[in-house]
Structure 1
């Protein structure tokens, strides 16, 4: 049993190493420059190992996108939960976590841009993209409802807030000299407070 568990852990490690190598290659080379060769060279494995764990490079890129989005979602969720029981505090913590590491990270931006470039041409990436943004809004809606918005008000508010956070995160990641993470958070907080006073 111990040997089987060790083998499984080793397989999981190798699989995760390929996922992390793919994210790094996408950040460094973009989607067009990411290949089986570059990924395997980065991971230090043979191309055959990639095909052992994944159904080719398209499958690996899709799995990598899901892995990255899952980690981002977990970070946001943990930030909200750590803020305590007060609804507004949880909402603010969830929103402003996007402006701090590990989410506010140039390497993550580069990887994310590579994924975005594939949304219109890769159905699997498009599906994950849709699930991710729907999931983010579905996390926001009960937080907004907890602050007094009705269900009907929470949906458009979540859509607008998602767009605001994405825009601030993108600009902050592209050019940190434009404004600071603290300023991004302050802008988001002011917008949230205005929204809660006068829902869309």
Structure 2
């Protein structure tokens, strides 16, 4: 039976996330991740060139998962003219960024580990920057939309970091 490379990469990334949640970013070595995934280290190396490649791939996967959920929320939000539905949609969208349940707490734990690692690992910085820029853009668009409808003023410092862990 052929192994689906995409599914195998996803399994390995999930193992990275479990190791990071349980033991921290520094413990997510190829050996520990392979063990967590129930694979030989050679199998992990088959899909990733090394630790750096694996960590960048895992960080990208984390971003993509959150982005996909946010994208799912945009359609209904744009489709409605009802202000109550719109407000609820905005709240649901922003709640995807908060650790409000086990899945989102786990994601926040992993994301903070990656963001912290990005401060000393240049290969992770572009993805951390992309995440911060994306959050800033999302909040700015929501606030601009509120201001356009005249519901309340939306002054934000668009030059300041949204997150205290920003790399600036």
TM-score range, shorter chain: 0.7 to 0.9
Q: Which runs of 4+ in 1 moved over 6 A?
A: 158-161
Gap regions ≥5 residues in structure 2: none
TM-score between both structures, scaled by the size of structure 2: 0.75
Shifted more, 128-137 versus 111-120: the winner is: 111-120
Q: Which has the higher contact order (CA 8 A, sep 6+)?
A: 1
Aligned position for 1:48: 42
User: What TM-score, normalized by structure 1, do the two folds share?
Assistant: 0.64
Question: Cα RMSD (Å) of the superposition?
Answer: 3.2
- Provide the residue aligned with 1:156 in structure 2: 156
Report what 1:198 is aligned to. Answer: none
Q: Which moved more, 1:62-71 or 1:92-101?
A: 92-101
Worse-matched range after superposition: 83-92 or 135-144 = 83-92
Q: Deviations over 1:125-170 (max 9, x none)?
A: 1110001111222233333222225xxx968366779449x9xxxx
Say if 1:97 and 1:103, in contact at 8 Å, map to a contact too.
Answer: no
Structure 2 Cα separation of the partners of residues 130 and 120 of structure 1: 11
Q: Distance in 2 between matches of 1:142 and 1:44?
A: 43
Q: Distance in 2 between matches of 1:76 and 1:102?
A: 18
Is the partner of 2:156 in helix, strand or coil? Answer: helix
Cα distance, 1:104 vs structure 2: 3.3
Aligned residue in 2 for 1:24? 18
Residue pair 1:141, 1:158 contacting (<8 A) in 2 also:
yes
State the distance in 2 between where 1:155 and 1:63 align. 36
Structure 1 gap ranges (5+): 1-5, 167-200
